[in-house]
């Protein structure tokens, strides 16, 4: 069985139950599972391994968990027709382009997005693809993730409600529901692995309230529970969506989903911005999780999710980069920073509750301190939080029995100069940088700042050809 030894880390952030941050940290793993997390001077630590990495001058953290992405959207980043729109017109500008994506383009886009994520410390990725026209399929994405070496939760997403039936997408971009359900069952049987340390899991993910029917939502929930896989969709992302469900069903989005058996601990929603206190309490009561996508929410002007309220209520919250065309990046370290900053901005925008002088108290004042997001809380959302949302107990922290998923950053760069009073917080407060090493399941994927499992320059060239062809450039 292959062994891994990490040693001499300037700081090793465990995210264990004691939230230990170990100076001169070390880690030993066998066959992708951590056996020891200790100091480099511990006499019980093995001195040799199949792979030995000296982390002198580096900080080591648990691998980030991305709980919401659309990897195929790397092909339409920075699209001129969609640069200055909110969600609905942004989608309409791209639906038919995405419908032209074939298997080769999908595979290239998956490799590009996953590579960018790995270079930003991400080791586990959930992808929400929902257009399967033109030969695109889940299988090619799973194969790409295996080639790169990333832990992958793939969705069998779907759209079935076209414009002629009152939905947002064009009719030629949706699928027949019988085909959707048949392929969903096929993909689960072919690829889902629920075991500890699993590298591939399947999620059923109808796209959104305005692109699927009630029957598809109900049938997907029943099939997911039959096979023990999780459920995901977009919800409460924009006020346009809220108006849609109020006009069509006379219910707010959360209440509407409750009528379709879509509240439970096997469900998480992307964005979950426009919710009230009762809905937050309902999420906590039923075990529903939320994927917070701060960059995308700002880019599309969707709003600011009440993340600190979720956390205070006990709702499971993870981070997601969302689509690379609504973020134009697949950088989890950037997302961590933005999550912290956006939570602070939301606090500053809240209406006063009581005398104005109390509202203007410093956020460090005891009356408001619990509403202030810290750097370490933001890191926890990206690690333990994401693992909880995906229902994984084997990732999210560095401790014995968990998967050897981790990354390192060089602390002695211009990015962190002057910030080493608190190296852990520096990772969030300072400008994001590329990882030095990213290790997934005990295997190096990024080494000395470079992807080593695929020919990345060649993949970039292929990807750009597909991207320009799709947009007729």
Of the candidates 210, 214, 275, 276, the one whose C-alpha atom is nearest the C-alpha of residue 245 is 210
Whether residue 254 has pLDDT greater than 70: yes
Residue 358 pLDDT: 46
- Mean of pLDDT values over 153-182: 97
Residue 323 pLDDT: 87
| 3-class DSSP state of 177 | helix
Residue 352 pLDDT: 52
- 324: which strand partners? none
Whether residue 417 has pLDDT greater than 70: yes
Residue 363 pLDDT: 52
Residue 473 pLDDT: 63
| DSSP codes joined into one string, 397-418 | S-STTSB--EEEEESSSGGGTT
pLDDT digits (tens, 9 = 90+) for 312-325: 999 999 999 998 89
| Alpha-carbon separation of residue 267 from 185, 280, 372, 443 (angstroms) | 18, 14, 27, 30
Whether residue 151 has pLDDT greater than 90: yes
Share of the chain above pLDDT 90, in %: 93
**Which region among 81-85, 255-259, 432-436 has the lowest average model confidence (pLDDT)?**
81-85
Place of tokens 């977009």: 234
The residues, any chain, with a CB within 8 Å of residue 69's CB and separated by 6 or more, are: 113, 117, 125, 126, 127, 128, 320, 321, 322, 323, 324, 330
- Mean of pLDDT values over 205-212: 97
- Mean of pLDDT values over 54-80: 97
Whether residue 339 has pLDDT greater than 90: yes
pTM: 0.95
For the chain, the maximum distance between any two Cα atoms, rounded to a whole number of angstroms, is 70
Q: Which domains does the chain have, with CATH numbers?
A: 3-62+396-451 (2.30.40.10), 64-385 (3.20.20.140)
Residue 356 pLDDT: 44
- Mean of pLDDT values over 417-445: 98
Residue 372 pLDDT: 87
Residue 349 pLDDT: 77
What secondary structure letter does DSSP report for 374?
Answer: P
The residues, any chain, with a CB within 8 Å of residue 293's CB and separated by 6 or more, are: 68, 270, 271, 319, 320, 321, 322, 327, 335
Whether residue 181 has pLDDT greater than 50: yes
Distance, in Å, from the CA atom of 81 to the CA atom of 89, rounded to the nearest integer, reads: 9
The residues, any chain, with a CB within 8 Å of residue 399's CB and separated by 6 or more, are: 14, 16, 34, 37
Residue 420 pLDDT: 98
Q: Are 381 and 310 in contact (CB under 8 A)?
A: no
Whether residue 161 has pLDDT greater than 60: yes
Q: Are 382 and 65 in contact (CB under 8 A)?
A: yes
- Mean of pLDDT values over 374-401: 98
| Alpha-carbon separation of residue 93 from 381, 439, 471 (angstroms) | 32, 38, 11
**Which region among 89-98, 145-154, 309-318, 359-368 has the lowest average model confidence (pLDDT)?**
359-368
**Which region among 38-47, 80-89, 275-284 has the lowest average model confidence (pLDDT)?**
80-89
């Amino acid at each position: 069985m292959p062994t891994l030894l990490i040693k001499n880390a300037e700081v090793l952030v465990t995210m264990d139950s004691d939230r230990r941050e170990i100076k001169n940290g070390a880690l030993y793993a066998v066959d992708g599972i951590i056996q020891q997390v200790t100091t480099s001077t511990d006499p019980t630590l093995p001195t040799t391994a199949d792979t030995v990495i000296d982390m002198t001058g580096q900080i080591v953290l648990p691998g980030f968990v991305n709980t919401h992405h659309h990897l195929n959207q790397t092909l339409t980043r920075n699209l001129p027709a969609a640069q200055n729109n909110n969600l609905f017109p942004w989608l309409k500008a791209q639906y038919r382009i995405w419908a032209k994506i074939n298997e080769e383009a999908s595979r290239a886009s998956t490799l590009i997005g996953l590579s960018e994520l790995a270079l930003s410390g991400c080791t586990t990725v959930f992808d929400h693809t929902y257009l399967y026209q033109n030969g695109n399929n889940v299988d090619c994405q799973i194969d790409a993730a295996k080639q790169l070496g990333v832990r992958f939760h793939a969705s069998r997403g779907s759209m079935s409600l076209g414009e002629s039936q009152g939905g947002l997408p064009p009719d030629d971009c949706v699928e027949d529901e019988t085909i959707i359900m048949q392929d969903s069952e096929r993909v689960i049987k072919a690829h889902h692995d629920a075991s500890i340390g699993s590298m591939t899991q399947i999620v059923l993910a109808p796209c959104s309230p305005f692109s699927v029917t009630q029957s598809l939502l109900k049938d997907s929930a029943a099939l997911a529970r039959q096979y023990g896989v999780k459920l995901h969709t977009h919800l409460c992302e924009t006020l346009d969506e809220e108006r849609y469900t109020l006009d069509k069903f006379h219910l707010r989005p959360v209440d509407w989903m409750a009528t379709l058996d879509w509240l439970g601990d096997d469900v998480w929603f992307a964005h979950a911005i426009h919710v009230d206190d009762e809905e937050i309490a309902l999420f906590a009561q039923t075990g529903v999780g939320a994927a917070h996508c701060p960059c995308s929410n700002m880019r599309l002007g969707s709003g600011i999710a009440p993340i600190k309220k979720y956390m205070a209520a006990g709702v499971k919250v993870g981070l997601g980069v969302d689509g690379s065309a609504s973020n134009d990046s697949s950088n989890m370290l950037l997302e961590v920073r933005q999550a912290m900053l956006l939570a602070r901005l939301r606090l500053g925008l809240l209406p006063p509750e009581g005398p104005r002088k109390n509202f203007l108290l410093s956020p460090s004042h005891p009356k408001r301190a619990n509403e202030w997001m810290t750097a370490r809380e933001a890191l926890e959302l990206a690690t333990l939080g994401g693992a909880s949302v995906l229902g994984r107990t084997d990732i999210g922290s560095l401790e014995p029995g968990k998967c050897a998923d981790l990354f390192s950053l060089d602390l002695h760069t211009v990015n962190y100069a002057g910030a080493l009073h608190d190296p852990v917080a520096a990772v969030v407060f300072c400008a994001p940088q590329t990882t030095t090493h990213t290790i997934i399941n005990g295997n190096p994927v990024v080494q000395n700042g470079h992807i080593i499992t695929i020919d990345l320059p060649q993949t970039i060239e292929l990807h750009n050809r597909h991207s320009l062809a799709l947009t007729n450039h």
